[in-house]
Chains A and B, each alone.
Chain A
Amino acid sequence: MANMDRRGFLRTGLGAGGLMLSSSLSPSWAQSGGPIRIGLIIPLTGGTSQFGATMGQAAKIAETEINSAGGVRGRPIEIVIEDDQSNPEAAVRAAHKLIDVDKVVAIGGSYASAVTSAIAPLCWEGKTVLLTASGADSITKLPHQGYIFRTSPTVTLQGTRVGNFAVELGAKKMFFLGPQTPFAQTYIEIISGIFKAAGGTGSGLVYEDKKSSYRSEVDQALKELPDVIVLGGYVPDTSVVLKDLYRAGFTGKKVGFSFGINDALTKAVPAEVSEGAYSLIPSASENSDAYKRLIAKMKRPSLDGYSCQVYDHVVLASLALARAASGPTNGTAVRDNLRAISEDGEGKRTDDATEALKLVTSGGRVNYDGPSGPLEFADNGDVKGVFFRYEQVQDGKLVVRKIG
C-alpha cells in the first residue's frame, strides 16, 4: 500500500473526509398499519442537543397520556423519534423517512432554525403538519399552505426583547457576536435599530461555528469599545466566545439567548467566565397545572420551554386528528382541525390533555392550553402570547431577574 501516490491518496483522503461529514447514524425501521404515527425530529446529538433528550421524554409522556385515554379514533398513537444531529442534511433524510416510510401525520420538535428551514418544504409538499420550536422569522413566511405551526417566539420578538432589555440595563454601545444561522443578520439589524432609536450605537459580526478559538473575532468586537455584547450562539461556540472575552479582559455586560446561555453553558465554563451574563428565556407556562403535572411525571424540578413545546406538539396533533372524527387520518386533517381544539373561544378551557381528548372524542368543544402556553396561532402559524424570563448567572448558576 505504500505505492499509492500522494495525489491519489489526497483525493481519496479528501473524499473520505467528506463522507465523514455527511454520514448518518439514524436508525431506520419500517412498520405497517395499526397506530397513527407522529414523527419527531429532535437534536439528540451535536451543537444544539442540550434539550434533545428532555424533548424526547416529554413527547413520550404525551404519547402515554393520549394512549391511556383511549388513543385517537380508536387507534393508538406512536411517536417515531429521529435525531437531526443538529444538521439540516441529516434532518432532511429523517423527514423523508418519516413522511415516505412511516407515513406520519405530523412532525414535531424541529428545533434549530436551519433544520426547520430545510425540512419545511418536504412537510408541506408531503401534506404533513410541521410543529416547530424554531425562531427564524423566515420559516412562517414560506408558502406553507397552513401546514406550519410555530410554538416558539420568533427571532424578531426575541431580538426586540433582548435589545430593549440591554437598553434598560443602561448600555449605549452594543456589539453582536453570533454564528452563521438563518437569524444572525436579523438579530444584528433589530438590536442595532433599537440602540440607535435609544440614542446609542450597534453593530455586530457573524462568525463561523465549530472553531476552537474566537480571539480575533473578540478583538474585532472590542475595537468598537462596546459596553454590552449580545451573544447569539448555541452553547459550544458561546462557551468559547465567553472564555475569549474573559481572557481579553472584557468587563462590560453580556446578554444572550436561552439556546446559548443556559445550565449546560454554566456547567461548561468556569464560574468567573459566565458571571453576570444575562439570558432571555422563552418561558413555559410555569404556573399552569399542565406544567406542574408534566414536570412531576418527568421527575424533574423544572423543565425548559422547548421540551414543553414538544409535549404540546404531540398533544395538538392528536387532538386535531381526534376532532376530525371521520375522513382520512392525515396531515391535512391535522392542519384543518388544529386551531379548533387550541383556540376555540367557546370551547371548554382545559390544560389537561387526557380531559381534552375525552371531550373531543365525545364530540365536545375544547380550548386546550398546554404546559408551553395558551397555544393560539396567528394566520401565518406563529404562536401568540409568549412569556419570557430574564435570568442572570450568579456564582455559576442562573437566577431569575425578571419575568415579562
Chain B
Amino acid sequence: MLTDLLQYLVNGLIVGALIALPALGLTLIFSVLGFVNFSIAALLTAGAYAGWLANTTLRLPLVPVLLIAFVVAGALGVLTDRIALAPIRRKPTAQTPLMVAVVSIALSMALESAYRFSFGSGLNSFDMPIARDMKFGSIRVGLQQLHNLEIAIGLAVILALFFSLTRLGKAMRAVADNVDLARLKGIEPVRLANLATFIGMGLAGVGGALLAIDTSVDPSTGSRLILLIFAGSVVGGLTSLPGAVAGALLMGVIGELGLLVLPPVYQSLTAFVAILITLLARPGGIFSGASGVRK
C-alpha cells in the first residue's frame, strides 16, 4: 500500500510537471494583462508542432528543439494577440475580461483548425529514443519525465528572479498592479503586455514540446489539457508564479492519488473537486499572498 502511494505520488508529480509550464504561462499573462488567455491551448500545440518539425526535419536535439518551441509559440502568441485580442482590450469596460477570454477561445479554435488543415488530424511522434523507466527500490521513475519536472521548476525559478531582480520584471509587476500609475511613471504597458504574452506563450510552447516528446502531437494536444491547466493556475491563485507550479503539481498528484479510492474513469472529477475545496477554503487560491508577480 505504501509503495502504491509513493508510486502514485511520483506519477502525479510527473503529470503535474507536464502542465506546470503552460499553467505558469497562463498565470503570467493573467497577472500582467488581467484576463485568462485560453488560446494558450492552441499555442501549446504550436510549440509542440514547432518542436516536432525542428526535431524530425532538422534533426535537432532536445535543447534547441525547446528553444524553437519557445520562440515560435511566443511569437505566434504575440501576433495573434495583436490581431484578435488587443483591439478588444483598447476600450475597456467591465465586461472586457470576459469578452477577451471568449474571443481567445475562438482564437484557439481557429488556430486548431489551421493546424488540422496544415498537418492533418494524425498523431505525430518525435524522433527521440524512448527509455525504459529507472527503478528506485520498487518505485518506477521515467528519465524524460524527470527532466520535464526539472525544466519546469528551473524555468519557474528563472522567472521569479526576473520579476524580483530586473527593471523589466519590476515594471511588469507595476503594470499588473495599476496600469495608470505605471503609465504615469513612464512605463509603456503595450510593450510589457507583448513581453508577458511572449514569455507566457513561450512557456506553454516549451510545455507543449515536452508533452509531445512524451506522447505525440496532434491538433487537439492543447485543448485536451486546457481545463487542467486552468485548474492548476486557479488553485495556485492565478497571480502567483510559484503558485502555478505548485497548483499544477497538486492537480497531477490529486488526480493520481484519487485512483487509490476511485475508478480511473472519475479521475478528472477529483481535480475539480480539489478546485472547489480550495476556493471554498481559500478564495484567493492556496498561494494567495505568497510572493509572485503581484504582491
Contact = CB atoms under 8 A, between A and B. Distances in A.
Interface of A: 1-2, 4, 6-7, 9-10, 12-14, 16-17, 19-21, 23, 25, 44-47, 49-50, 52-53, 180, 205-208, 210-213, 215-217, 219-220, 235-236, 239-240, 243, 246-249, 264-265, 267-270, 272-273
A194 B100 CA distance: 56
Nearest to A5: B283
Contacts of A273: 130
Contact of B264 (A13, A23, A205): A205
A231 to B, nearest CB: 15
A208 B226 contact: no
Contacts of B140: 215, 219, 247-248
20 contacts: A1-B35, A1-B94, A4-B94, A9-B97, A16-B98, A16-B101, A16-B105, A180-B265, A205-B263, A208-B267, A212-B211, A212-B224, A213-B15, A213-B18, A216-B12, A216-B256, A217-B259, A219-B11, A243-B215, A249-B132
B125 interface: yes
B7 interface: yes
B133 A49 contact: no
Nearest to B218: A236
Contacts of A213: 11, 14-15, 18, 145, 214-215
Listed from nearest, the 3 A-B pairs whose CB atoms lie closest are A268-B123, A12-B98, A207-B264
Contacts of A4: 34, 94, 97
Interface string B107-140: 0110001001000011111000111110000001
B259 A220 contact: yes
A270 B211 contact: no
Contacts of A239: 123, 125, 215-216
B130 A17 contact: no
Contacts of B284: 6
- Interface secondary structure of A, over-half rule: helix
Contacts of B18: 212-213
Given A4-B94, A216-B11, A235-B123, 12 more contacts: A7-B279, A10-B238, A206-B265, A208-B266, A212-B19, A215-B142, A243-B214, A248-B140, A264-B122, A268-B123, A268-B124, A273-B130
Given A13-B230, A20-B38, A216-B11, A269 B125 contact: yes
B130 A246 contact: yes
A358 B116 CA distance: 40
Contact of B259 (A25, A52, A216, A235): A216
Interface string B30-50: 000011101000000000000
Interface of B: 4, 7-8, 11-12, 14-15, 18-19, 34-36, 38, 89, 92, 94, 96-98, 100-102, 105, 108-109, 113, 116, 121-125, 129-133, 140, 142, 145, 176, 178-179, 211, 214-216, 218-220, 223-227, 230, 234, 238, 256, 259, 263-268, 279, 283-284
A10 B125 contact: no
A10 B101 CA distance: 11
A247 B14 CA distance: 14
Given A239-B123, A268-B125, A10 B264 contact: no
A212 B214 contact: yes
Contacts of A205: 263-264
Contact of A17 (B15, B100, B227, B238): B227
Contact of B101 (A12, A44, A208): A12
A21 B228 CA distance: 13
Contacts of A53: 121
Nearest to A247: B133
A203 to B, nearest CB: 13
A265 B206 CA distance: 24
B105 A19 contact: yes
A269 B126 CA distance: 8
A272 B132 CA distance: 11
A213 B38 CA distance: 22
Contacts of B89: 1
Contact of A236 (B34, B123, B214, B265): B123
Contacts of B179: 2
Contacts of A44: 121
A15 to B, nearest CB: 8
Contacts of B19: 212
A247 B142 contact: yes
A12 B259 contact: no
A272 B256 contact: no
Nearest to B33: A1
Nearest to B7: A219
Nearest to B127: A270
B70 to A, nearest CB: 20
Nearest to A46: B220
Given A1-B89, A25-B113, A247-B130, A267 B101 contact: no
A246 B129 CA distance: 12
B130 A215 contact: no
A111 B110 CA distance: 25
B77 to A, nearest CB: 17
Contacts of A267: 122-125
Contact of A6 (B98, B264, B283): B283
A308 B99 CA distance: 45
Contacts of A13: 36, 101, 230, 234
A10 B276 CA distance: 11
A4 B94 CA distance: 7
